[in-house]
Structure 1
Amino acid sequence: MTRPLALITGASSGIGTAYARLLAADSDFVLVARRADRLRDLAEELRKDGAEVEVLPADLATREGIAAVAERLGTGDVRVLISNAGVGGYAPLVDVDPARIDDLLTLNAEAHVQLVRAALPGMLAADEGTIVTVASLLAFSAGQTGPRPPRRTLYAAAKAALVAFTRTLGHELAGTGIRTQVVCPGPVATEFHQGIGQTVPVAMTAEDVARASLAGLRLGEAICVPGLEDQSAVLDALLAAESAVLSGGRRSDLASRYRQPLPQ
């Protein structure tokens, strides 16, 4: 029996590594991350489970890195894409170095889109495939204020875009053999938070996030929020709110509050 080929980005640690370990019994891999030494160590571990493993070091915050991975996806043999690589960049916008804005948005948003685009022709030709993008619970945080959420303007915007992208893509691919899912974990006990100088007192394990995602795929979930118990009801309410905004705003006349005379 042929094992499906899974390409995982951000595979050198955290959630990416957890996906690889959970899939190792049944999949072969292309592992992508910046740190080649860690990729090689993981590859040796996965080979012990019988997996064939390619190592592809690439920095997905750069156009060159994206192009290298997109070229590999363009060969058409990848049946599972787990687009997981990301970076925090938490800070008030005024404190973000302008030179970093492009890197942050490239890795957290554009890279996902470009890699999915590169994977699609092969999956469509085979009428088979799975696309998973890893976003964040903070994608839904734009309306939240107060001290608890981190300063996150760029991060939240990129992750919200990724949620919208993956949800809409799922509708485009309806009727094909391709499944899509966007994963939106809360705090996770990984190097991600250490790298941005945050201490997270209550955090889910990376393995639990990956396990929830894979279980959610079997359940047909297009959105997976690993810690959300009543997900179906909450997401139904979100969809209803979105529909109300769309239907209510699709009018040719102004809402009544805008018809008042302008102050002189």
Structure 2
Amino acid sequence: MAFRSALITGASSGIGEAFARGLPRSTALLLAGRDRDRLSKLAQELTSPGRVVRIVTADLSDDQERGAAIAAAESAAVDLVINNAGVGRLGRVIENAPERESEIVKVNALTPVEICRALIPGMLRRAEARQNQPEGEPGGRAGIINVSSAAAFGPMPFFATYAASKAFLLHYTEALAEELSDRPIDILALCPGATKTRFFERAGIEHLGFSMHEPDRVVREGLQALGHRTVHIVGPGNYLATAAMRFLPRRIVTAAVESVTKKWS
């Protein structure tokens, strides 16, 4: 983990905060999120001699604030990007607020695309420059972790837009990794299942009915998988569930998922 500088979106809590804590102390951080107070507290805690931790308060569904976060990352010359920010909303599509449905797509799908397109060219130039030096420098590769979801592997009635946005991010990441497979950058779609974060409360989900992983586990497996595979599903249970969603008839999958998501409210 020789990254010099990392951007983490959705860093004020949950998986994003765990990534900030899980990266080596040698990695400078740019923490992006909506909650300035939580970001400031985390930055103060993680700052140490020789390590700079900056924050950028941004609602990534807003064009201007998303642009400001990207500009801050360009200025920080990041070589690791963790697109972790995500939102969802339980309910029928036609009953959810239109602006909420749009927000899900902007944060979960549009934001990672814009961040990747804006930052990857510079990340590649810096990585290649380090590799081309006479003796080479450590950290001659860049990295992207796009946090997708186990929900990306099948349709999810009552959670339709969230699951579809994560499916987009999964497919986008796999394709991007193949396009850049001959360049000095490692790209990973990290697919956790239910994780102990504030996500479910914000999404309007009260009762999941099954156990959840700790954010630290998601981060640990994600950092270990980066550079070794393109897709990583956290936990054997989630792996089996996503395999079933891939291979069973779609109608059966949709009906089975609906029977679960109806119980969440």
1:176 aligns with 2:183: yes
Compute the displacement of 1:51 (Å): 2.7
Percent same amino acid among aligned pairs? 33
Q: Which residue in the other structure is 1:203 paired with?
A: 212
Matches of 1:158 and 1:230 in 2, distance apart?
A: 18
| Contact 2:3/2:80 (<8 A) preserved | no
Helix, strand or coil at the partner of 1:91? coil
Amino acid at match of 1:162: L
Residues 186-225 of structure 1 aligned to structure 2 (within 5 Å): 186-198=193-205, 199-200=207-208, 201-217=210-226, 220-225=228-233
* Structure 1 position 228, deviation (Å): 2.9
Change (3 A) 1:195 1:12: same
- Of structures 1 and 2, the one scoring higher in RCO (CA 8 A, sep 6+) is 2
> Aligned equivalents of 2:50 and 2:239: distance in 1?
36
CA RMSD of aligned residues (A): 2.4
Q: Does structure 1 retain, via aligned residues, the 8 Å contact 2:82–2:146?
A: yes
- From 149, 153, 156, the equivalent of 1:136 is 149
TM-score (norm 2): 0.80
151-160 or 118-127, larger mean C-alpha shift: 118-127
* Aligned-pair CA distance for 1:161: 0.3
Pick closer, same or farther for the CA change 1:3–1:209 going to 2, 3 Å: closer
Secondary structure of the corresponding residue to residue 144 of structure 2: strand
**Runs of 5+ consecutive residues of structure 1 not aligned to the other structure:** 143-148, 242-264
Structure 1: distance between partners of 2:52 and 2:103: 32
Q: Which amino acid aligns with 2:87?
A: V
Runs of 4+ in 1 over 4 A off after TM superposition: 229-232
Per-residue displacement from partner, 1:75-100 (whole Å, max 9, x unpaired)? 37100000000101222111122232
Q: Kindly provide the CA deviation profile for residues 134-176 of structure 1, in whole angstroms up to 9, marking residues without a partner as x.
A: 011000122xxxxxx6611111110000000000000110111
Contact 1:24-1:51 at 8 Å conserved across structures = no
The residue type equivalent to 1:178 in the other structure is I
Matching residue of 1:156: 163
**DSSP-derived class of the 1:12 partner:** coil
Measure how far apart 1:3 and its partner are.
Answer: 6.0
- The answer for the alignment partner of 2:137 in structure 1 is none
Aligned residue pair count = 229
- Name the SS of the counterpart of 1:87 in structure 2: coil
Q: Is the 8 A contact 2:145 2:226 kept in 1?
A: no
The answer to whether the 8 Å contact 2:150/2:238 transfers is: no
The two structures have a TM-score, normalised by structure 1, of: 0.80
d(CA) in 2 for partners of 1:49 and 1:112?
A: 31
2:8 matched to 1:8? yes
Matched, 1:167 2:174: yes
> Structure 2, unaligned stretches of length 5 or more?
129-140, 248-265
2:79, 2:143 within 8 Å by CA — same for their partners in 1?
yes
Q: Distance in 2 between matches of 1:229 and 1:192?
A: 20
Aligned with 2:187: secondary structure? strand
2:7–2:29: 8 Å Cα contact kept in structure 1?
A: yes
Q: Pick the structure with greater CA Rg.
A: 1
| Aligned residue type for 1:216 | A
